[in-house]
Amino acid sequence: MPPAPVQRATPRRPADLPPSATGVSGLAAGYEKEAGALRRGVLAAAEAFGHRLPEVYGGEQRTEGSALLSHPATCRPAATAAAAGVLLLTTVAGIRPDVPAGTVMLRPLCGAPLGEARLTGLRVSGAAFSARVGRIGLAMVEEVADGLRLGA
């Protein structure tokens, strides 16, 4: 009996992967176009689930009228999914902390649908940090604690 044929997996581009806030955050540091595609997917999923994301969801390729489905054993809303909104907001605003170095970089993503936003009460490496992002994507630090340096 001949051996069964070997099936090879087709590599997937990042934009083909299921959308997740963690994926958006990871791609934002060098793959803004792909991060934007994932961000749009996460926001569409949030809308489809009434802004109460389950911890696991999926569906077929997105087409007009297609629906997302949550996994039958998933929690909804899930605490980790609730944190996705905070991670997406800080990623879109471009807040990139480096705790070991005691620095924070502020570089908003291009073309992000953020509008004008103030992010206050943030803590980076135990230090206070606040920023404002304007409608056209310009960011300004409003509060930075002593000992916390702005990165380039």
> What local confidence, expressed as pLDDT, does residue 75 receive?
75
* Orientation angle between helical segments 32-48 and 79-93, nearest 10 degrees: 140
Question: According to the per-residue pLDDT averaged within each range, which of 7-11, 87-91, 118-122 is highest?
Answer: 118-122
Which tens digits make up the pLDDT trace of 14-24? 443 345 777 78
- pLDDT band of 5, cuts 50, 70, 90: very low
> What local confidence, expressed as pLDDT, does residue 111 receive?
67
Whole-structure pTM value: 0.67
CA angle 50, 130, 85 (to 5 degrees): 15
Which tens digits make up the pLDDT trace of 111-139? 666 678 888 988 887 888 899 888 877 88
* Higher local confidence (pLDDT), 17 or 68: 68
**What distances in angstroms separate CA 100 from CA 86, 93, 103, 104, 125, one per listed residue?**
22, 21, 8, 10, 8
> What local confidence, expressed as pLDDT, does residue 2 receive?
55
